[in-house]
């Protein structure tokens, strides 16, 4: 596997994904938490950084722990750090170089650039420039603006060290994948056998070993992560996996029943729990978004715990936590730990004395989907849009009543079904309908109406952290609008949300 040292670059996760696309497992650690490099590691990559090596707050890795021990590739800050550390010079460039550039000269002899032609387009993003190379390093490539775009040394250390100023992980570096493949496969000797099938085989084995003859409980949400986690565990331990699927009354129209049927089709041992009234009761009269979230979380735990007590001998609680939830990230504001507990069972494992099992904690979302496909999960489950845990409660602005939920479900079902009908569903990251606490005047036939408005939201995104509103076709929006207004009594106006995130968020609450 490949170790990636993170110096806080916005592209660090992208490096990990590109390596994994080569079917090589990669993991990210903060620059100052280098693990013991046992036989499982084959190469180390140093990421870029928002910092400058010349700054006082520059991040200092223990280079001796990696250089000479394994092949090393430094990217941007990583390259500058290596240059600086081994006696080269790095200085401020007159202007920050940002964007596309072409490799003006590629030394043919370097293994790193095998198969990459002079003129290859690369992506630059840096404010410092490497002026002089350290001893024993040779120049490998330049661009029109930067003399030292790539350099390396094959003999100064026991293993080769390569450094590049540009970002091979960004798609605009057209031969970036080739370069990473040259480094990871050809130079470092990784085998490229980390496929979904291999992951499943290995994980199932590990789960069997870890869980032994014990029983595991898992809360299904209907989303892809918890579903894939359940299928893996089911494959490993069969009916010793017990699944709960709780109906909080805040899902999309007909979704609970539909997903429950899919789960049964997949052979899972599922207890469906109707807790709608408890959730509605806890939400009654509450309009504050955070208090609504808390109320839902609290009831979820109450219901989960009550039902779990009916089972005996459960030792583990399984969760669908994925890699972006657990990566320790280095941020401009200092190293920080981001661990979201969005699986709604916060505090429960400790309280019930259960151990945690998280079979997906090393996977990115798209990898979870591929594993789901390999496990034979139905396509409509794999491709489902993300849906927030608190569900429609945060898409009904203001307080929640069962009547408002029903109204929103009707409008939302029209929107989502039309989206599938028009072949747009898979083109957006997430879509939903928001019930606005606004009434407005309309006219239907000869009658004046005074009814509610809904907003339609659809965004494209890769991780939900940033998002662009989807430029959905006008004829589609027209069809949705007229269908909602003509069919959902109580709604006489439809608007489309054209806000990006940031500064708006995807959800309205
Ligand atoms: P925002 O609204 O913050 O949403 O742009 C980003 C992503 O997170 C989802 N979301 C939630 N998911 N519990 C969840 O499980 C929540 O309280 C919650 N709030 C937002 C949202 O649907 C989007 O995918």
224 among annotated binding-site residues: yes
ipTM over 0.90: yes
Q: Is 494 within any annotated ligand binding site?
A: no
Active-site annotation holds for 167? yes
Is 227 annotated in a binding site? The answer is: yes
* Atom 4, ligand 1: residue with shortest CA distance: 506
The whole-number pLDDT of residue 502 equals 87
Per-residue pLDDT of the chain (509 residues; tens, 9 = 90+): 999 999 999 899 899 999 999 999 999 999 999 999 999 999 999 999 999 999 998 999 999 999 999 999 999 999 999 999 999 999 998 777 889 999 987 765 689 999 998 899 999 999 899 999 999 999 999 998 889 999 999 999 999 999 999 999 998 999 999 999 999 999 999 999 999 999 999 999 999 999 999 999 999 999 999 999 999 999 999 999 999 999 999 999 999 999 999 999 999 999 999 999 999 999 999 999 999 999 999 999 999 999 999 999 999 999 999 988 888 767 665 544 443 344 455 677 888 889 999 999 999 988 999 999 999 999 989 999 999 999 999 999 999 999 999 999 999 999 999 999 999 999 999 999 999 999 999 998 889 999 999 999 999 998 788 899 999 999 999 999 999 999 999 999 999 999 999 899 999 99
- Atom of ligand 1 lying closest to residue 432 CA: 22
What is the Å distance from ligand 1's center to 251 Cα?
14
Q: Are β-strands 447-460 and 430-444 bridged in parallel, bridged antiparallel, or unpaired?
A: antiparallel
Tokens 């092949």, residue? 71
**Ligand 1: distance of its center to the CA of 507 in Å?**
6
Catalytic residue among 97, 147, 163, 169: 169
The SS3 of residue 306 is helix
Same topology between domain 2-187 and domain 395-496: no
Cα of 318 vs centre of ligand 1, distance in Å, is 21
Burial of 494 (0-12, 13-18, 19+ CB in 10 A): buried
The reported pLDDT for the residue numbered 342 is 47
Region of 249 (left: φ > 0; alpha: ψ -120 to 50; beta: rest) is left
Atom of ligand 1 lying closest to residue 465 CA = 6
What distance in Å separates the CA atoms of residue 481 and residue 371, rounded to the nearest whole number?
Answer: 37
The Å distance, Cα 164 to ligand 1 centre, comes to: 37
Q: Which residues lie below 8 Å from residue 129, measured CB to CB, with a gap of 6+? A: 90, 91, 92, 93, 97, 146, 147, 148, 165
- Kindly report the three-state secondary structure assignment for every residue of 255-295: HHHHHHHHHHHCCCCEEEEECHHHHHHHHCCCCCHHHHHHH
Q: What is the model's pTM?
A: 0.85
Q: Whose CA is nearest to atom 9 of ligand 1?
A: 388
Annotation: CATH topology of 2-187: Rossmann fold (3.40.50)
Ramachandran angles phi, psi of 177, nearest 5°: -65, -40
Work out which ligand 1 atom sits closest to the CA atom of 386.
24
pLDDT of residue 333: 57
> Going by C-beta distance under 8 Å and a sequence separation of 6 or more, which residues neighbour residue 247?
256, 272, 273, 274, 275, 276
d(CA 104, CA 264): 59
Q: Which among 503, 507, 508, 509 is the best mutation to test ligand 1's pocket, defined by most ligand atoms within 8 Å of the CB? A: 507
Q: Which residues are CB-contacts of 482 (< 8 A; sequence separation ≥ 6)?
A: none
> Would you tell me which CATH number, out of the four given (3.30.300.10, 3.40.640.10, 3.30.70.260, 3.40.50.300), belongs to the domain 395-496?
3.30.300.10
For ligand 1, mutation pick of 388, 433, 457, 465 (most atoms within 8 Å of CB): 388
Taking CA atoms only, the protein residue closest to ligand 1 atom 12 is: 388
| Separation of CA 388 and ligand 1 centre (Å) | 5
Residue given tokens 């408002």 in the structure block: 404
Distance CA 20, CA 12 (A): 13
Residue nearest to atom 22 of ligand 1 (CA): 388
Was 483 annotated as part of a binding site? Answer: no
> Does residue 243 carry a catalytic annotation?
no
Q: Assign 373 to helix, strand or coil.
A: helix
Ligand 1 pocket, residues with Cβ under 6 angstroms:
293, 342, 386, 388-390, 430, 464, 501, 505-507
Residue tagged 């960004």 (tokens): 170
Question: What's the confidence (pLDDT) of residue 448?
Answer: 94
Q: Which CATH class is domain 196-382?
A: alpha beta
- The catalytically annotated residue of 126, 167, 234, 343 is 167
Paired tokens of 42: 């084959």
Closest atom of ligand 1 to 389 CA is 15
Please check if 223 is assigned to a binding site.
Answer: yes
**What are the domain boundaries of the chain?**
2-187, 196-382, 395-496
Residues 348, 340: contact at Cβ < 8 Å? no
**Side-chain half-sphere of 153: how many Cα atoms within 13 Å?**
18
- Which pLDDT does position 215 carry in this prediction? 97
Atom in ligand 1 nearest the alpha carbon of residue 461: 24
Q: 498 exposed, middle or buried (CB, 10 Å; 0-12, 13-18, 19+)? A: exposed
Beta strands in 461-504 (DSSP E): 468-469, 491-496
pLDDT of 505: 94
Instruction: Write the residue with the smallest CA distance to atom 6 of ligand 1.
Output: 464
Confirm whether residue 222 is marked as ligand binding.
yes
Ligand 1: distance of its center to the CA of 7 in Å?
A: 27
Q: If you measure from the C-alpha of residue 466 to the centroid of ligand 1, how many angstroms do you get, rounded to a whole number? A: 12
Question: Does residue 385 carry a catalytic annotation?
Answer: no
């Amino acid at each position: 596997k490949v170790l990636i040292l993170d110096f806080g670059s916005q592209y660090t996760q992208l490096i990990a994904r590109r390596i994994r696309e080569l079917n090589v497992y990669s993991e990210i650690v903060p620059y100052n938490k280098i693990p013991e490099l046992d036989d499982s590691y084959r190469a180390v990559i140093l990421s870029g950084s928002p910092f400058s090596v010349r700054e006082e707050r520059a991040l200092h890795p223990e280079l001796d722990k990696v250089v000479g021990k394994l092949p090393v590739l430094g990217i941007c800050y990583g390259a500058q750090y290596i240059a600086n550390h081994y006696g080269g010079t790095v200085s401020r460039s007159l202007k920050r170089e940002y964007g596309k550039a072409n490799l003006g000269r590629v030394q043919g002899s370097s293994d790193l650039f095998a198969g990459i032609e002079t003129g290859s387009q690369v992506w630059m993003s840096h404010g410092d420039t490497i002026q002089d190379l350290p001893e024993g390093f040779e120049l490998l490539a330049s661009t029109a603006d930067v003399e030292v775009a790539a350099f390396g040394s094959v003999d100064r250390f026991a293993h080769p060290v390569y450094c590049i100023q540009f970002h091979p992980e960004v798609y605009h570096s057209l031969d970036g994948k080739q370069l990473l493949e040259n480094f990871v496969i050809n130079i470092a000797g990784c085998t490229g056998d980390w496929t979904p099938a291999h992951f499943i085989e290995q994980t199932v084995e590990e789960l069997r070993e870890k869980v032994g003859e014990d029983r595991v409980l898992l809360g299904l949400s209907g989303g892809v992560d918890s579903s894939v986690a359940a299928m893996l565990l089911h494959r490993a331990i069969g009916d010793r996996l017990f699944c709960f699927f709780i109906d909080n009354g805040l899902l999309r129209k007909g979704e609970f029943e539909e997903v429950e049927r899919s789960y049964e089709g997949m052979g899972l041992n599922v207890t469906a729990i109707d807790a709608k009234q408890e959730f509605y009761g806890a939400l009654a009269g509450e309009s504050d978004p955070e208090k609504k979230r808390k109320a839902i979380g609290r009831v979820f735990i109450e219901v989960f715990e009550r039902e779990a007590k009916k089972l005996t001998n459960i030792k583990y609680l399984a969760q669908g936590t994925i890699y972006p939830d657990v990566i320790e990230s280095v941020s401009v504001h200092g190293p920080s730990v981001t661990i979201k507990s969005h699986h709604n069972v916060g505090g429960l494992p400790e309280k019930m004395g259960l151990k945690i099992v998280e079979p997906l904690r090393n996977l990115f979302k798209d990898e979870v989907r591929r594993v789901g496909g390999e496990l034979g999960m139905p396509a409509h489950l794999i491709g489902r849009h993300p849906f927030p845990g608190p569900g429609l409660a945060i898409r009904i602005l203001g307080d929640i009543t069962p009547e408002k939920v029903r109204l929103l479900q009707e409008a939302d079902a029209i929107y989502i079904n039309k989206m599938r009908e028009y072949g747009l569903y898979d083109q957006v990251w997430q879509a939903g309908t928001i019930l606005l606490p606004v009434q407005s005047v309309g006219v239907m036939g000869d009658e004046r109406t005074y009814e509610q408005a809904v907003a339609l939201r659809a965004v494209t995104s890769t991780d939900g952290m940033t998002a662009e509103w989807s430029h959905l076709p006008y004829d589609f929006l027209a069809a949705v609008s007229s269908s909602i207004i003509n069919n959902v009594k109580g709604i006489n106006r439809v608007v489309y949300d054209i806000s990006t995130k940031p500064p708006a968020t995807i959800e309205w609450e």
